[in-house]
Amino acid sequence: MCASVKYGSRGPALIPRMKTKHRIYYITLFSVVLLGLIATGIFQFWPHSIESSAEWSLDRRSVHDAPLVRIPMSSPISERGDLSCRMHTCFDVYRCGYNPKNKIKVYIYPLQRFVDEVGVPISSTGLSREYNDLLSAISDSDFYSDDVSRACLFIPSIDVLNQNSLRIRETAQALAMLPRWDKGTNHLLFNMLPGGPPDYNTALDVPRDRALLAGGGFSTWTYRQGYDVSIPVYSPLSAEVDLPERQPGPRRYFILSSQTAIHREYRVELERLKEENGEALLLLDKCSNLSQGLASVRNRCYKGQVYDYPQILQESSFCVVLRGARLGQATLSDVLQAGCVPVIMADSYILPFSEVLDWKRASVVIPEEKLPEMYTILKSIPHRQVEEMQRQARWFWEAYFSSMKAIGMTTLQIINDRIYPYAARTYEEWNNPPVVKWTSVNSPLFLPLIPPRSPGFTAVVLTYDRIESLFRVITEISKVPSLAKLLVVWNNQNKSPPEESLWPKVAVPLKVLRTKENKLSNRFFPFDEIETEAVLAIDDDIIMLTSDELQFGYEYFNYLYTYKMPGDIKNWVDAHMNCEDIAMNFLVANITGKAPIKVTPRKKFKCPECTAIDGLSLDQTHMVERSECINKFASVFGTMPLKVVEHRADPVLYKDDFPEKLKSFPNIGSL
């Protein structure tokens, strides 16, 4: 790996040219540099790439010129990281203050060389090239400020990317000596290789008080949700291997496993899958007949046949990413670069940037115990969906994985969005490539994996004045085990809701929300009272649905309907008092590329107490308008996403001769 680095105007400075009149000096210098390059080439693969860099500092001086700081043996040591820390408890947002550009300011500490009392450095590598690139990128960005008094976030120039190179206690003492440390408040540490043998902890072992950690190996046990940032393990091959983007589509191999040194149990199971599925699966390993160095890193072998890595990744539709000694693997970055869909099997692993990235769109996550079923699981994914995932995987790499700069800027943007949430990037901005428009189906999958504030789902019942029918709907919905809350949207401005004592007694909170206008779109408004991810929107006359059918689950599309519906569709619905359900189906179909789960025949939608006076659907023009709105919505979206299909998504063997007590949803009606 070449040690030379390019630098911007605000970043690292070039080493001043040395002058000499003696030719022999240049020959000697050239020889030393050449030997250094050869030695560096031997250690191309991470973590060996985290090597010393002698060129970076904000003060524009060589690392060798940085002031030496001795750490007394009695120097205070930072406390262990507080697992209870959250942004509202351990981060001082007031330090960030008002900012017209909604941009945090980041200060990088001047470069210093920390040594113990006898002069031994706290790190065996000093400043690695990766950390050098990271700090340089931050210093060249709009986030950077050289005025410590204006800073909202502080980044030490102490390199803790690779724990293997650190002296744990002395590093913690060095952090505690930083002038603005204050128990780590508003400090950010970057670490990609946490832990060490034999246990390999999933978070940096250096005591760090309240500091935020951008870590490359978090598990669900060590990740502080909404506080830490899960980052990728950078692959140095990203910058050294040119893999031009390949068009999505079928590839030579269906599944590829290219990792070396994986656990023996995984290797045995992969070999069994290879025997069962033949050429569909390519199982590679380290080449035992090649010399060490560059060739061993850039090649993989199978039965004596040598394959070029990582180019071989582009020859497969799916690429296996298994846990190694650490949860985070640089292989994930290589796979994404190749546009190969990663099949991630690393239980409890917090995927990189999962706070904002929707990994369902670019990967397949399979529990480790399901490894024997991997081939069957992947075969069930439609070809079109695989192509979308290949495209998304490559874009994720380009936008967020391709360089230390990309990793650093993404980390800072996530923190920035927390501090200025009203100006935060939207789900679409984080997950949609810039060219994606509303004019076509842009994703085969679903919405962001945002942790709900409350488990279960909220039922939102739209009503006008059909009290008896409304109460029957509430009674039926209340039987659903996953129901968390009932909201009744009262759309009648001329009549008050019934008294509280008359309402059905239910085991969950029930609240009546009175609206200012009688609009059908009120049913899809994202009310503050909704605290769940899943929402059931239903009318007051839908009494034929069973609790089992409702338990089947509903996705949360209210926000998109209210704020992201294209064109004038919402106004059209409100003006005609019709087609809000069709509009929602168009929206969901365009987002997911999938048809509705169940559409019941019209004969089942009968309201025994409805009359021509109070039923919108009884108007003669109602069905005519519904045909018109389909054409209208197709014109606005630029496509007809709804498809004529016949399919039953019923995993409970509805009509099979199967014991009733073993059925999860025995009361789901027939189509």
What crossing angle do the helices spanning 622-637 and 569-576 adopt, rounded to 10°?
Answer: 170
253 vs 596, residue with greater confidence: 253
Token duo for residue 136: 């340089």
β-pairing, 305-308 vs 299-302, is antiparallel
Residue 191 in this model has a pLDDT that exceeds 70: yes
Least confident among 32-46, 327-341, 490-504, 639-653: 32-46
pLDDT band at 401 (very low <50, low <70, confident <90, very high): very high
Residue 532 CA from chain centroid, whole number: 20
Side chain identity at residue 520, one-letter code? L
Residue 619 in this model has a pLDDT that exceeds 60: no
Least confident among 33-47, 244-258, 306-320, 596-610: 33-47
User: Which residues fall within 8 angstroms of residue 525, CB to CB, at 6 or more apart?
Assistant: 489, 558, 562
User: pLDDT tens digits, residue range 344-361?
Assistant: 999 999 999 999 999 999
pLDDT band at 550 (very low <50, low <70, confident <90, very high): low
pLDDT band at 196 (very low <50, low <70, confident <90, very high): confident
Mean pLDDT within 181-207: 93
Q: Give the fold, CATH level 3, of 238-402.
A: Rossmann fold (3.40.50)
CB 407 within 8 A of CB 216: no
pLDDT band at 59 (very low <50, low <70, confident <90, very high): very low
Token duo for residue 330: 């640089």
Q: Tokens 């605000």 appear where?
A: 10
654 vs 179, residue with greater confidence: 179
SS3 of 26-69: the string is HHHHHHHHHHHHHHHHHCCCCCCCCCECCCCCCCCCCHHHCCEE
Q: What share of the chain is helix, strand, coil (3-state, %, to 5)?
A: 35, 15, 50
Closest CA to 185 of 145, 160, 146, 151: 151
pLDDT for residue 575 = 84
| CATH of span 454-555 | 3.90.550.10
Residue 340 CA from chain centroid, whole number: 17
pLDDT band at 25 (very low <50, low <70, confident <90, very high): low
CB 448 within 8 A of CB 427: yes
Q: State the Cα–Cα distance between residues 54 and 267, nearest whole angstrom.
A: 41
Residue 544 in this model has a pLDDT that exceeds 70: no
Mean pLDDT within 257-263: 90
Would you list the domain boundaries of the chain?
63-230, 238-402, 454-555, 557-604+615-664
User: pLDDT tens digits, residue range 439-489?
Assistant: 444 444 444 444 444 567 788 998 888 888 888 888 888 888 778 889 999
Closest CA to 528 of 506, 505, 511: 511
Residue 540 in this model has a pLDDT that exceeds 60: yes
Q: What is 557-604+615-664's CATH number, 3.90.550.10, 2.40.37.20, 1.20.1260.10, 3.40.50.620?
A: 3.90.550.10
Write the Ramachandran bin of 102: left for phi over 0, alpha for psi from -120 to 50, otherwise beta: left
pLDDT for residue 444 = 40
pLDDT for residue 211 = 96
User: Which residues fall within 8 angstroms of residue 316, CB to CB, at 6 or more apart?
Assistant: 251, 252, 253, 254, 255, 256, 282, 340
pLDDT for residue 321 = 96
Which of 9-18, 45-54, 210-219, 587-596 shows the highest mean pLDDT?
210-219
Token duo for residue 267: 């290797």
pLDDT for residue 572 = 85
CB 12 within 8 A of CB 57: yes
CB 236 within 8 A of CB 129: no
pLDDT for residue 186 = 97
Q: Is the peptide bond before 47 cis (omega within 30 degrees of 0)?
A: yes
11 vs 65, residue with greater confidence: 65
Least confident among 117-126, 416-425, 613-622: 613-622
pLDDT band at 111 (very low <50, low <70, confident <90, very high): very high
pLDDT for residue 573 = 86
669 vs 207, residue with greater confidence: 207
SS3 of 111-157: the string is CCEEEECCCCECECCCCEHHHHHHHHHHHCCCCECCCHHHCCEEECC
Write the Ramachandran bin of 356: left for phi over 0, alpha for psi from -120 to 50, otherwise beta: alpha
613 vs 410, residue with greater confidence: 410
pLDDT band at 18 (very low <50, low <70, confident <90, very high): very low
Is it true that 238-402 and 557-604+615-664 share their CATH fold?
A: no
Residue 19 in this model has a pLDDT that exceeds 50: no
- In angstroms, how far is the first alpha carbon of the chain from the final one? 63
pTM (global) more than 0.95: no
Residue 578 CA from chain centroid, whole number: 37
Q: How many CA atoms lie within 13 A of 387 on its CB side?
A: 8
pLDDT for residue 172 = 95
Q: What is the mean pLDDT of the chain?
A: 80
254 vs 591, residue with greater confidence: 254
DSSP of 175-226: HHTSTT-GGGTTBEEEESB---TTT--SS--S--TT-EEEESS-BTTT--TT
pLDDT for residue 49 = 47
DSSP of 490-521: E--TTSPPPPGGGSPP-SS-EEEEE-SS--GG
pLDDT for residue 473 = 87
Q: State the Cα–Cα distance between residues 191 and 171, nearest whole angstrom.
A: 13
Q: How many Cβ atoms are within 10 Å of 197's Cβ, its own excluded?
A: 7
pLDDT band at 622 (very low <50, low <70, confident <90, very high): low
611 vs 283, residue with greater confidence: 283
Percent above pLDDT 70 for the chain: 74
Least confident among 13-27, 266-280, 340-354: 13-27
pLDDT for residue 521 = 84
